[in-house]
Structure 1
């Protein structure tokens, strides 16, 4: 699998780091914000419940003050001491006036020790009976040693207008100067004021407030069915059990406020749906903001890194081109300080490499020149020995003219071989050099050797190393024609082949098979052919090529391909 680029790796690394950083910040921010919001919500709930409790406390104080002032009212005392019709009417009139002045009072009832009942509720007034003194509220009032008003739990009452209404009552004993019981006064209070105030407390969408006494009896609840349904009452018990804390998996917060100078406790059940909604919005907002920030950061870092890495890409391309052989190209010294310094050092290195390459090339040329000279020195003694041997042979037969002709040919041969000390020679002179050599060999072998030379005038001035054709011709004579018993012929031709100049040396001699071992043997047989191949490879390089074609006992053809350029 292909490894991603440096830019992709950096962007991905930055992406992971930003994701981790945003995640850490998000979790911390969310937890901190949620905790702060929770604390604010809890504090607001507590303040609301406290305000509600203080309102109820003030409300009760007013009722208790009303009750305490009534039990010592002269009109009430006058009726108890003298229950005449006039005193009764005066008392009832006073109570009616009181009910009209205070909308929270639903009814007022006086039960005397003798069992007489006077009430603003006419239906209750007709039920004069000693049974009224057996009511729990009556007994509770006369048992209160502090002679203070007594609060009773909520109860359902049907009044003269046949309307049923849930009320609470404030009862207080009426006694004489000696503390002897004269009766009990009860004020029935409706829920209107409590409902109006308590229901306005901000406790969430499903929050509510209720009041209980010390016996966990319900004094007030916004839903009246709670008073008559045991199931509903049981449902509220978990809230009563929690003093100050969370319930329903943190869906509700409960706070209890004990009302001073009473046995009532206000319990607020705050709904945290709004809190959770706010937390969800905060989380969603942060996630959305985080995604936008992440995209912006990634795009920004993409462009920044791309611009920063651009000089590195350029440097990479320069390195590739240098590797492909372009030694003149140089890196641009742009970008960050480090990259500028890197490019400058790289360019300096290329300059130094060029200097070293120039020196190496010069050294190689010198070495190649020495090698060419060394190889040429191997040929001259070899050929000279053979030629002198031929001259000696002719002299022994007193053939002076042939000796003269052969000596002249040998002189021209060596004049061309020496070439005024130059290692390079024109193709025309090199072929003339071969012509002198073949003339000398023809004098030696007589009718056994014939030769033919075909030149191409347009390439007469083509330059090549000297002494490269004569060794091949020599090899053809000694290893091709000499071993056979028939007349031999050597043909040297110059022709064109695509981008090369083709020089062919043909002989009709011994030949050999075309297997690789025979070719290797052919190249290694004597110094001549191998010497020529090495010299031409050193001079022309890869553009030069030698091919050998042969058929056993028929011919051998060696083709030399020289690049025209």
Structure 2
């Protein structure tokens, strides 16, 4: 018994899914790994870039501070061995020239230990009396070995100058009247120089630079007014002397880096906007998703192509198998596709060819068997009728009816001549009717003209062929079971109807009951005790040759008649 698997995937779809799954997994994994590596690299790049920017800014400030220190050292070196009283004009020129050469230097002063101006531009009288109290002055005298950078911007002490400056001071020695004395060198730097250095650095949108002193006090911010991020940046960097942090300031992703200037101990805080890098990461994600979609689409196309290449020959072979399973053994088998499929097709072709041979052999055997069975059934009729006829001839002879004996013997000879018909199984309807009429002639003599008969055929059907000896047993049955003491009538009618040759044999008489008809049908089918060998013989021969296309039907009208109708399929070529 054949069973059809349920919910089973086809081989083509299975191959398609397998290839697609492998390709999709590889593409997704490679994309995820690439994305993870890139994201990590990007984070490292963000930190490295922000750190490098901070270092570059620190280097710029260190360079600038070093240039200021070099200027101070140059003034000291140029003033070496020059006496303030003796070489006052030359010293004034040295100080003035260094102030004039550098645009960011507002003024250069030399003060004695009490804060009195010795060299430098004129000062306001009030300011001149307060120099000794200035932080830059006292710090220089306290720590004489280093330069002091005053963190808090202040107005220049030079007369008629209002620039905001940063004071750079250092304790120095000078000659005055041949005596070495201690004083303070002051260089005023324009505060805008700090802003100019900050503006040279590109920190992105919202990016800014802070300068804190060693105590964390805010000295400078490059953020434009209003300063919405300076306070937050200052708070984050206040306790950080070296290193970096990430923070969200005013909705922007900022990377904070802190470095300390060597000479001033100021902290340079840079806040870099890394949103653009995040945007680049988002663009990368979009590109990766697009590449992933395209890769999967290409994988789908490739998987579909490979699947079709493999499954199409298999499907064609399957369709051919189904046709052959349905009985079409001549269905063409395509020997194409991959080598394994071609070998399978070749093997299947060989198997089908062998099946054809076996079926042809079986058909031949069945034909021979059917012929043998037909001959055996036909041979059952001839002895049956012969015995009955010989009994009739004996009876006629005993009653001195010589003419009837002659007529019976002649009709018997003609009867058997047609029965033999040179070994043919099928004979023209005309011969079959003649055969029946010879039989009726014999039976009418035997029954002393107790019945009459008539034959009517549709025009044009006499030349059509039917299996021989199919009417005589039916007529014989009609005589034996239908003719009584009164005169009877047997009518034989023939017609062509619905692709069948139809013979109806009707006899008058008492008729038969429905129960008897059912019994006769059972006898024809091979069951029960046969009370009519002839009708069963005809039925079995028709079924043996034509199968279910042929049939015998029995009908009866009580006290009137009984009709046996034969339906015989017309063989091809006989319709016209």
Structures share a fold, TM > 0.5?
yes
1:43-88: per-residue Cα shift (whole Å, max 9, x none)? 3433333233233223222222333555687599966xx7x9x95x
In the superposition, the TM-score normalised over structure 2's length comes to: 0.81
Q: CA RMSD of the aligned region, Å?
A: 4.0
Q: Which of residues 449, 463, 466 is equivalent to 2:465?
A: 463
Which whole-Å CA distance do the structure 2 matches of 1:241 and 1:370 have between them?
Answer: 118
Q: 2:288: which partner in 1?
A: 286
Please point out which of 28, 39, 50 is paired with 1:23: 28
What is the CA–CA distance in structure 1 between the aligned matches of 2:363 and 2:40, rounded to whole Å? Answer: 79
Q: Tell me how far apart the structure 1 counterparts of residues 568 and 70 of structure 2 sit (CA, whole Å).
A: 135
Counterpart in the other structure of 2:545: 539
Asked if the contact 1:454/1:494 (under 8 Å) is kept, the reply is: yes
1:259–1:459 Cα change, 3 Å? same
Match of 1:232 among 227, 230, 233: 230
Is the deviation greater in 7-16 or in 468-477?
Answer: 7-16
- 2:560 matched to 1:554? yes
The verdict on how the C-alpha distance between 1:332 and 1:231 changes in structure 2, with shifts beyond 3 A counting, is: closer
TM-fit CA distance, 1:90: 7.4
- Give the count of matched residue pairs: 552
Match in the other structure for 2:138 = 139
* SS at 1:267 equivalent: strand
Q: 1:125 to 1:73 in 2, by over 3 A?
A: farther
Query: Where do 1:140-159 residues align within 5 Å?
Result: 140-144=139-143, 147-157=145-155
- In 2, distance between residues paired with 1:348 and 1:63? 103
Deviations 1:360-382 (A, max 9, x none): 11111122122213323433443
* Conserved 8 A contact 1:70-1:76: no
So what's the TM-score if we normalise by structure 1? 0.82
Closer, same or farther: CA 477–251 of 1 in aligned 2, 3 Å: farther
2:508–2:562 Cα contact (<8 Å) kept: yes
- Specify the SS of the correspondent of 2:185: strand
Return 44-53 or 385-394, whichever deviates more: 385-394
Match of 1:328 among 319, 327, 330: 330
User: What secondary structure is seen at the aligned counterpart in 2 of 1:446?
Assistant: coil
Which residue of the other structure, out of 518, 524, 534, is the alignment partner of 1:528?
534
Q: In the alignment, what sits opposite 1:247?
A: 246
Task: Describe the SS at the equivalent of 1:248.
Answer: strand
CA 1:528–1:238 in structure 2 vs 1: closer, same or farther (change >3 Å)? farther
Aligned partner (choices 270, 273, 289) of residue 272 of structure 2: 270
SS in structure 1 at match of 2:448 = helix
With over 3 angstroms needed to count, the CA separation of the structure-2 counterparts of 1:109 and 1:284, relative to structure 1, is: same
Q: Distance in 1 between matches of 2:171 and 2:515?
A: 145
- CA distance in 2 between partners of 1:40 and 1:231 (Å): 24
| 1:32 corresponding residue in structure 2 | 37
Query: Are the structure 2 counterparts of residues 123 and 494 from structure 1 closer, same or farther at C-alpha, using a change threshold of 3 Å?
Result: farther
- Whole-Å separation in 1 of the counterparts to 2:208 and 2:506: 121
Question: Which position in structure 1 is the counterpart of 2:344?
Answer: 342
Equivalent-residue separation in structure 2 for 1:106 and 1:553 (angstroms): 154
Aligned equivalents of 1:369, 1:125: Cα separation in 2: 153
Query: Would you tell me which structure has more helix in proportion to its own residues?
Result: 1
Shift of 1:288: 2.8
